[in-house]
Amino acid sequence: MSKYIMAMDEGTTSARCVIYDKKGNVISSAQREFRQYFPEDGWVEHDATEIYATQVSVAQEALLKQNLTYRDIAALGITNQRETTVVWDKATGEPIYHAIVWQCRRTSEYAETLKAKGYEEMIRQKTGLIIDAYFSGTKIKWILDHVDGARKRAERGELLFGTVESWLIWKMTGGKVHVTDYSNAARTMLFNIHALGWDEEILELLDIPKCMLPMPVECSGNFGETIPELFGGPIPITGAAGDQQAALFGETCFREGEAKCTYGTGSFLLLNTGEKPVFSDAGLLTTIAWGLDGKVNYALEGSAFVCGAAIQWLRDEMQFMMESPESEQMAIDAGSSEGVYMVPAFTGIGAPYWEPDARGAIFGITRATGRGQIVRATLESLAYQNEDLLSAMAKDLGKRIVALKVDGGACRNDFLMQFQSDISDTEIVRCKSIESTSLGAAYLAGLAVDYYTSKEDIIENKEVDKVFTPAMTSEERKHMLSGWHRAVRAAIYMTN
């Protein structure tokens, strides 16, 4: 058995490769950014060929750094920016258009027309998603509508579609394997999450030929081998999952009721709901967590657009600090936010309020308010937003979650973690390794080749760094939450 597992983490701005040993220790890693294209206001594109070349080159670099060869790698797992859409020519392997990135809003008008025609409930029941330009479906349609002759060529079987993991697998297997894993398929708005297949009715509605779509497969299994010219010899590709689902897996949230929150630029909360999809009345998304060993786990997903980005704003625009981690001591020194509430609605408010045009606000300022109070109120606001998602999940589920695992850059902030625990009355578990996304891909790949014999084998790897337990009275919690909700309502009231 080879010694290591390779994870490719293909993100929105950079491609990373991490090589892990069995214990989940990082043996080697490399990372490189690739170009972002903004051809029009609200449009975001990537060059899929550049993504592929960048991803392969960082993998080669990670091997080289530690003098490793393909023989040292038992298997390769991929995790990726979700929803981003690639359409390519099957014969030449050339994309027919830039990849349309998840952030791209070019199809929002079309998404609105689908809503206006009353398709929302049908799409929600089948795919678990709300109708939005974010998902791949309307992006594929856009390419077929706008690239000369594309739809005819797709109908003739000359074009293929894939999200990024699907594209990378196809390229790395020399065009032999055209698959997508369930967790990525579930983000296309074309995938029936109950039947685990492409939905004919939605395909017809969007006029997308089925023959261009990849075969949906479980997240762990034998997908194929990399062509020998990439790494000197073949490496089996045996794992794939979208970034948030991979993070849920990497955090070992294997059982129903387990949840994780990633505190990055934005925050992403995912709750494993077991083998049954749970539908949300609060506008949360229902998605596939993973398919594994003939079973599918579903998840409820909620996200806040702004999380660490609010701290970045305090740092870069307000110049309240030099480095984001300084926010912790500033908040502690402030002693209290003294009735100041920050609503970080820089790009509207998402679940459960859905006010896309709302703007941010700071309330409760007095002559005594200083930077410390504003920093503290901002950190608190990140926790309040997550609490709103947690309580929406609790409503959908009929019970509250009891523990939350955390990762992402801002989870290093102990003040924020303790406040999250207090305001959500929930235990917060932070592990030593907060690299859960690439770790999740490595675990999925490792399970397929018996590098790990079971999920229990993986759980043993988890080393807890710190557990935060609630230490706030319920009166205080109620009082603070009620102030937050009033602040959010006031911010919404100010929306044009």
264 belongs to the binding site for ligand ADP (CB under 6 A):
yes
Q: How far is CA 277 from the centre of its chain?
A: 18
Long-range (24+ apart) CB contacts under 8 A made by 272-275 are 272/248, 272/297, 272/298, 272/299, 273/297, 273/298, 273/299, 273/300, 273/397, 274/298
At 362, phi and psi to the nearest 5? -125, 125
Min dist. Cβ of residue 364 to ligand ADP (A): 22
Min dist. Cβ of residue 414 to ligand ADP (A): 9
Min dist. Cβ of residue 434 to ligand ADP (A): 8
311 belongs to the binding site for ligand ADP (CB under 6 A):
yes
Min dist. Cβ of residue 410 to ligand ADP (A): 4
Q: Closer CB to ligand ADP, residue 408 or residue 483?
A: 408
Out of 233, 409, 427, 470, name the contact with ligand ADP by CB under 6 A: 409
Show the tokens assigned to 296.
């599918």
Residues 362-401 close enough to bind ligand ADP by CB under 6 A: none
Binding segment for ligand ADP (CB under 6 A), chosen from 321-329, 339-347, 369-377, 446-454, is 321-329
Going 124 to 129 to 132 to 135, the CA torsion angle's sign is negative
Q: Closer CB to ligand ADP, residue 31 or residue 369?
A: 31
Q: Closer CB to ligand ADP, residue 76 or residue 410?
A: 410
Q: Closer CB to ligand ADP, residue 309 or residue 447?
A: 309
Binding segment for ligand ADP (CB under 6 A), chosen from 211-219, 324-332, 355-363, 383-391, is 324-332
327 belongs to the binding site for ligand ADP (CB under 6 A):
yes
Round to the nearest angstrom and report the end-to-end CA distance of the chain.
Answer: 62
Binding segment for ligand ADP (CB under 6 A), chosen from 43-51, 231-239, 249-257, 406-414, is 406-414
**Runs of H (alpha helix) within 66-135:** 108-116, 120-127
Pairing assessment for the beta strands 267-274 and 259-263 based on DSSP bridges: antiparallel
Out of 125, 324, 347, 391, name the contact with ligand ADP by CB under 6 A: 324
At 38, phi and psi to the nearest 5? -125, 75
412 belongs to the binding site for ligand ADP (CB under 6 A):
yes
With CB atoms as reference, the residue minimizing the distance to ligand ADP is 409
Long-range (24+ apart) CB contacts under 8 A made by 27-34 are 27/66, 27/68, 28/62, 28/63, 28/65, 28/66, 28/68, 29/62, 30/58, 30/59, 30/61, 30/62, 30/65, 31/58, 32/57, 32/58
Q: Closer CB to ligand ADP, residue 344 or residue 352?
A: 344
325 belongs to the binding site for ligand ADP (CB under 6 A):
yes
Side-chain-side CA neighbours of 138 within 13 Å: the count stands at 22
The rounded distance, in Å, linking the Cα atoms of 119 and 131 is 8
Min dist. Cβ of residue 261 to ligand ADP (A): 12
Show the tokens assigned to 294.
């003939």
Using CB under 6 A as the binding criterion, the count of chain residues that bind ligand ADP stands at 15
224 belongs to the binding site for ligand ADP (CB under 6 A):
no
Which among 84, 293, 86, 45 is positioned nearest to 178, based on CA atoms?
A: 86
Min dist. Cβ of residue 436 to ligand ADP (A): 10
265 belongs to the binding site for ligand ADP (CB under 6 A):
yes
4 residue type, one letter: Y
Residues contacting residue 474 through CB under 8 Å, at least 6 positions apart: 425
Q: Closer CB to ligand ADP, residue 4 or residue 468?
A: 468
Min dist. Cβ of residue 232 to ligand ADP (A): 31
* Torsion angle, alpha carbons of 246, 89, 54, 450, to 10: 40
312 belongs to the binding site for ligand ADP (CB under 6 A):
yes
The rounded distance, in Å, linking the Cα atoms of 287 and 70 is 34
Out of 81, 138, 378, 413, name the contact with ligand ADP by CB under 6 A: 413
Q: Closer CB to ligand ADP, residue 264 or residue 339?
A: 264
Bridge partners of 14, per DSSP, are 33
Q: Which residues of the chain form contacts with ligand ADP (CB under 6 A)?
A: 264-265, 308-309, 311-312, 324-325, 327-328, 408-410, 412-413
